[in-house]
């Protein structure tokens, strides 16, 4: 009989020989196996749970005896009797190696857990949070060797957790002495180390062993909406997601009008900064209430936002962003105290991370999209468009990534559309028009039924049919084009020209009647010539931006297209392509990434290494400034046609035949360059 034994960990496959009696946790650490522990091996936290296997393991060439691990000791028995332990599980810090053994580390016992995202593109997210709780035993004071309690705590953290030279603010120092004494010289601390921090910092302290949540917020601060995800940084779970309107809307719907407000009103930027910060505190309170957690358990906030919101959040006057050369006050990432942003609703010591901006018009939100979608690691050439009031566009692959922004305006979000509304119950979100009868059918948010399905009237009675949202107008216009109700230039034909009475004159132009709700006391929902023009302007800007990046890359086709943005998930790829929002590509290669900016924010929240990664990526992204590229205007004009005046769409043509109609009666389409917003 030897006095050591073979230990094999799964799923890592790491193996080594250890002296009999070695705790499993110790063996794991020495082999570099990813096995969690908060209490430092004291049998308190149970984070180090493992599952030993017994019997034959031909793959590993070992036979594991029933007594390969030591029997249950008092600590483990006590833990099991009080807190419970699943069948077959052992505490890695208590169970000792007594013979050759195969030990499985279940996913929840790994520090760097992989969390499946719930969103459309089910990708894994690796947990590596900047803040975690650790339990530590601190030496008692000694009159003969006087050192401060903090210095002894710091020494203990260095010895027991390899956290060297920790720092703490005065709030922690104030609570340190009572906590140490109440915990009889054992405390749990929330330890934070940002990717750029030289030293870890203590964000919170509790007497004894504390098992409270360590929470974080990923916030996508948009021009129109502020969306937040509340995450548990211990396991990556999203506890709640919530959003509020950006209160700055009262200072201007689009970003440029907010910049103007700051220019025209002394102190206007301060007013807008206060509004957004107040609103953040309100949102934080609401989301914490929704998740039934104490907001003081929120230790980290990650922000992604466009450059103007970035500056207004930080309290910087965005005036320079309103004029060439669109200089950012700062483009790098920022690591701040939450109190710097007046975020008083969360823990007083909480930290904030703001992703870097790419350029004066390509913000931290675009960086977040890049973090979530990783064009820089893509083998094939991918075009990513984050559709919003401003579209952020990324194009590239592992060799090179380009970025620009394009001022699409709010039409894609249902604004500036005659019957437009925000995506809410009652809004038409999907449209089909029969190419023969020219009759429409549609679906509204809140019901899965089509308007010609039995029971539709009952299903939508409560919400009503109130208007048309962004994805609805895109489908409506594309369907009108496919049904021959609109020609390539975007002109709506007359009833005569199109053979349907739904096309009605309205002044010198025509409109298409999508739905007449007057009988039910609801509105008449039309698609007007003005609506078509608004969508044309928006989609031309989007396409022109993408095309500019393709020019810069020297390509005419992309391998795949990713639609991102809050409502990117709802856009039908086929309709987007009929409209010419995006370049021609196989339909199967057009996917939705959902709210990629929000996902990027969550990744940066849950994985501190991802922050360093995106900073390096942003540094290498080449920015193209649409505002000064003469070809942008040319691309914009050509993109006004549906789908396009000059670029062929062969892939689209293979599946959709667009009627060759023309309703030109002399009235021209608007091609004026839209102001940036």
Question: Interacting stretch for a second copy, rule CB under 8 A, among 67-75, 165-173, 540-548, 563-571?
Answer: 165-173
CB of 224 to a second copy, least distance (A): 25
CB nearer a second copy, residue 141 or residue 586: 141
169 near a second copy, judged by CB under 8 A: yes
Question: Interacting stretch for a second copy, rule CB under 8 A, among 248-256, 354-362, 531-539, 542-550?
Answer: 354-362
CB of 164 to a second copy, least distance (A): 13
Question: Interacting stretch for a second copy, rule CB under 8 A, among 111-119, 168-176, 292-300, 439-447?
Answer: 168-176
* Residue selected from 75, 239, 316, 656 as contacting a second copy according to rule CB under 8 A: 316
State the Cα–Cα distance between residues 15 and 103, nearest whole angstrom: 10
Question: Interacting stretch for a second copy, rule CB under 8 A, among 106-114, 135-143, 386-394, 430-438?
Answer: 135-143
Chain centroid to Cα 634, Å, comes to 33
330 near a second copy, judged by CB under 8 A: yes
CB-based contact 304:599 (threshold 8 Å):
no
The dihedrals phi and psi of 17, each to the nearest 5 degrees, come to: -100, 140
Burial of 98 (0-12, 13-18, 19+ CB in 10 A): middle
Burial of 667 (0-12, 13-18, 19+ CB in 10 A): exposed
CA distances from 638 to 394, 545, 551, 574, 635 (A): 21, 12, 14, 20, 5
CA dihedral (589, 594, 595, 596) in degrees, to 10, reads -40
CB nearer a second copy, residue 315 or residue 517: 315
DSSP-derived letter for residue 81 is H
314 near a second copy, judged by CB under 8 A: yes
CB of 359 to a second copy, least distance (A): 4
Residue in 63, 27, 25, 16 with CA at minimum distance from that of residue 43:
25
* Residue selected from 9, 135, 150, 636 as contacting a second copy according to rule CB under 8 A: 150
State the Cα–Cα distance between residues 187 and 193, nearest whole angstrom: 19
107 near a second copy, judged by CB under 8 A: no
CB of 205 to a second copy, least distance (A): 12
Q: Under rule CB under 8 A, which residues in 606-665 are in contact with a second copy?
A: 623, 625, 627-628
Question: Interacting stretch for a second copy, rule CB under 8 A, among 14-22, 175-183, 237-245, 635-643?
Answer: 175-183
Question: Interacting stretch for a second copy, rule CB under 8 A, among 61-69, 166-174, 260-268, 669-677?
Answer: 166-174
Radius of gyration of the chain (CA): 30
CB nearer a second copy, residue 16 or residue 207: 207
CB of 89 to a second copy, least distance (A): 40
CB of 356 to a second copy, least distance (A): 9
Residue in 559, 571, 503, 495 with CA at minimum distance from that of residue 532:
503
State the Cα–Cα distance between residues 462 and 417, nearest whole angstrom: 24
The dihedrals phi and psi of 280, each to the nearest 5 degrees, come to: -65, -45
Interface positions with a second copy (CB under 8 A): 140-144, 146-151, 169-170, 173-174, 176-178, 198, 314-317, 319-320, 324-332, 336, 340-341, 357-360, 623, 625, 627-628
């Amino acid at each position: 009989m030897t006095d050591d034994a073979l230990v094999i960990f799964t799923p890592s496959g790491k193996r080594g020989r250890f002296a009999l009696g070695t705790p499993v946790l110790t063996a794991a650490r020495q082999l570099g196996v990813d096995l969690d522990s908060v209490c430092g091996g004291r049998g308190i936290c149970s984070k180090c749970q493992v599952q030993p296997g017994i019997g034959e393991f031909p793959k590993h060439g070992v036979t594991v005896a029933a007594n390969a691990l030591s029997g249950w000791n008092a600590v483990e028995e006590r833990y099991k009797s009080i807190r419970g332990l699943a069948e077959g599980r052992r505490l890695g810090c208590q169970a000792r190696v007594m013979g050759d053994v195969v030990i499985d580390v279940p996913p929840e016992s790994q520090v760097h857990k992989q969390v499946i995202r719930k969103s459309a593109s089910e990708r894994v997210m690796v947990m590596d949070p900047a803040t975690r709780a650790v339990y530590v035993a601190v030496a008692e004071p000694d009159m003969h060797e006087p050192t401060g309690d903090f210095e002894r705590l710091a020494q203990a953290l260095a010895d027991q957790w390899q956290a060297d030279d920790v720092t703490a603010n005065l709030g922690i120092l104030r609570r340190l002495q009572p906590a140490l004494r109440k915990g009889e010289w054992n405390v749990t601390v929330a330890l934070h180390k940002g990717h750029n921090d030289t030293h870890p910092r203590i964000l919170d302290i509790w007497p004894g062993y504390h098992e409270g949540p360590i929470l974080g917020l990923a916030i996508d601060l948009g021009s129109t909406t502020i969306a937040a995800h509340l995450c548990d940084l211990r396991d990556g779970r999203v506890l709640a997601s919530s959003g509020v309107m950006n209160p700055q809307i009262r200072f201007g719907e689009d970003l440029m009008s907010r910049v103007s407000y700051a220019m025209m009103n002394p102190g206007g930027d301060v007013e807008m900064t206060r509004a957004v910060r107040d609103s953040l505190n309100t949102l934080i309170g609401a989301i914490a209430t929704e998740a039934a957690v104490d907001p003081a358990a929120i230790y980290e906030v990650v922000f992604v936002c466009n450059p103007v919101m970035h500056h207004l959040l930080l309290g910087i006057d965005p005036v320079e962003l309103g004029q060439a050369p669109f200089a950012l006050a700062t483009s790098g990432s920022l690591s701040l105290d939450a109190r710097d942003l007046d975020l008083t609703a969360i823990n007083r010591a909480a930290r904030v991370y703001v992703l870097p901006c790419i350029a004066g018009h390509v913000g931290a939100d675009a960086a977040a999209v890049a973090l979530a979608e990783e064009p820089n690691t893509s083998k094939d050439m991918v075009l990513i468009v984050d559709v919003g009031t401003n579209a952020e566009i990324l194009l590239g692959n592992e060799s090179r990534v380009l970025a620009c922004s394009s001022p699409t305006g709010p039409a894609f979000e249902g604004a500036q559309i005659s019957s437009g509304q925000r995506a809410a119950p009652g809004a038409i979100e999907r449209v089909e028009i029969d190419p023969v009868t020219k009759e429409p059918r549609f679906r509204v948010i809140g019901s899965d039924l089509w308007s010609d399905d039995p029971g539709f009237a009952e299903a939508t009675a409560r919400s009503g049919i109130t208007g048309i949202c962004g994805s609805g107008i895109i489908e409506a216009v594309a369907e009108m084009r496919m049904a021959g109700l609109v020609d390539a230039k975007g002109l709506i034909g007359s009833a005569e020209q199109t053979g349907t009475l739904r096309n009605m004159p309205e002044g010198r132009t025509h409109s298409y009647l999508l739905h007449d709700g007057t009988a039910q006391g609801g509105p008449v929902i039309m698609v007007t010539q003005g609506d078509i023009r608004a969508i044309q302007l928006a989609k031309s800007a989007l396409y022109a931006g993408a095309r500019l990046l393709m020019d810069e890359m020297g390509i005419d086709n992309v391998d795949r297209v990713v639609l991102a943005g809050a409502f990117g998930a709802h856009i039908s790829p086929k309709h987007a392509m009929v409209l010419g929002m995006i370049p021609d590509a196989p339909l199967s290669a057009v996917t939705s990434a959902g709210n990629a900016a929000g996902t990027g924010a969550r990744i940066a929240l849950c994985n501190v290494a991802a922050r360093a990664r995106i900073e390096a990526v942003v540094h290498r992204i080449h920015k193209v400034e649409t505002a000064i590229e003469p070809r942008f205007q040319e691309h914009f004009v050509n993109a006004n046609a549906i789908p396009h005046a000059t670029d062929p769409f062969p892939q689209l043509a293979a599946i959709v035949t667009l009627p060759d109609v023309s309703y030109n009666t002399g009235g021209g389409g608007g091609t004026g360059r839209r102001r940036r917003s």
